[in-house]
Amino acid sequence: MSIRITGTGSYIPKSIEKNEDFKEHEFLNTDGSTFTQENDVIIEKFEAITGIGERRYADDNLTSSDLGYLAAEKAIEDAKIDRETIDYIICAHNFGDVKHNTIQSDILPCLASRVKYSLRIKNPKCVAYDILFGCPGWVEGMIQAQAFIKAGMAKRCLVIGSETLSRVVDKHDRDSMIYSDGAGATIVEASDEDGGILSHETASFTYDEAYYLYFGKSNNQELCADTRYIKMDGRKIYEFALKHVPLAMKNCLENSGKDIKDLKKIFIHQANEKMDEAILKRFYKLYKTEIPEGVMPMSIQKFGNSSVATVPTLFDLVKNNKVEDQEINKGDIIMFASVGAGMHINAIVYQY
């Protein structure tokens, strides 16, 4: 028996926020002081480092669970299954449903329950729950789904990664330009075919690293000090990722029994273009081999960092030939990898 992805779906919002749309923003330092540089310079440096030229924001009437539902519908349709046969719905997110122009996170009921409601699934034995695991949430949801199936507790799972980060950013923080909205979903089930999930790796570094990403007050000192926004220590995250992610990827690949030369694609969390390129370089350096051309598809340039949604949406786009010069074929060995708040790292080696 193998455990395979039999259907994928994604929802990428239509509203495009380009870098030039930030030209009139009032960016401030953490102490509330103004930058000496003009916004044009700030934006130019931002794009050079992150690779982000534009990002997507959800329509005002949609929440994270809505995006997750829309992606789930596509995954169910792609898998050609009866939704009543789904045993688990696992929804990865970070901030719950945050309605437009509000600041309160709503996770009662959990987002997975909301998605199940929207899917109109009647079966009470379809268990719906959320997972909070930072940006690696969808990958971890896949690992949990595999565990349920291997243990005989499930035959079919729906794993979703959905987020509306645009609702929790501090508009006075330059880092607000990184974040975006989106959702991806996969149907995972037991199969008689070869391949599927071959190995996985997960780790949580919390002793010194737990608060590299956190909720903090606005850089604008005149705003309410009790209102919190997503914040990060970018330099520490960068150094952490370069040190630990390549090693986790190596361990995962070695546990799969596959060779580095077998690896056709690496779907890595779209956090920062320069960071992802550096992770890839260090990963291949561990094997003392050159990086194959086109091994790492990227979507961050147009879609930004949508946290838990970046890996499943990118996979869905490549699978459906919607990323230029990228494709995956039957039998290909691929890897999913992510790093994020916690600090958590995980990876999966998968035979397509």
At 6 the pLDDT is: 97
Residues 51 and 153 grouped into a single domain: yes
Going from the C-alpha of 246 to that of each of 89, 135, 295, 298, the distances in angstroms are 30, 17, 15, 17
For residues 13 and 314, is the Cβ–Cβ distance under 8 A?
no
At 104 the pLDDT is: 84
At 223 the pLDDT is: 87
DSSP secondary structure letters along 283-294: HHHHTT-PPPTT
Last residue of a domain, one of 193, 217, 246: 193
CATH code at position 104: 3.40.47.10
Q: C-alpha 62: how far from its chain's center?
A: 19
pLDDT tens over the chain, length 352 residues:
899 999 999 999 999 999 999 988 899 898 888 888 889 899 999 999 999 999 999 999 999 999 999 999 999 999 999 999 999 999 999 999 999 988 789 999 999 999 999 999 999 999 999 999 999 999 999 999 999 999 999 999 999 999 999 999 999 999 999 999 999 999 999 999 999 999 999 999 999 999 999 999 999 998 888 889 999 998 999 999 999 999 999 999 999 999 999 999 999 999 999 999 999 999 999 999 999 999 999 999 999 999 999 999 999 999 999 998 999 999 999 999 999 999 999 999 999 9
Residues 186 and 202 grouped into a single domain: no
At 103 the pLDDT is: 77
At 225 the pLDDT is: 82
Give the domain range for residue 270: 198-351
Give the separation between CA 131 and CA 189, rounded to whole angstroms: 19
Q: Which of 249, 241, 303, 247 is nearest to 274 (CA)?
A: 241
Last residue of a domain, one of 142, 169, 193: 193
Question: What is the per-residue pLDDT across 88-104, written as a single tens digit (0 to 9) for each?
Answer: 999 999 999 999 988 78
Last residue of a domain, one of 193, 222, 257: 193
Residues 227 and 250 grouped into a single domain: yes
Residues 162 and 219 grouped into a single domain: no
Cβ neighbours for 244, distance < 8 A, ≥ 6 positions apart: 203, 205, 339, 345
Residues 185 and 215 grouped into a single domain: no
Residues 228 and 114 grouped into a single domain: no
Residues 44 and 176 grouped into a single domain: yes
Residues 121 and 226 grouped into a single domain: no
Residues 100 and 133 grouped into a single domain: yes
Question: What is the per-residue pLDDT across 8-59, written as a single tens digit (0 to 9) for each?
Answer: 999 999 999 999 999 888 998 988 888 888 898 999 999 999 999 999 999 9
Helix then strand count (H, E) for the chain reads 8, 13
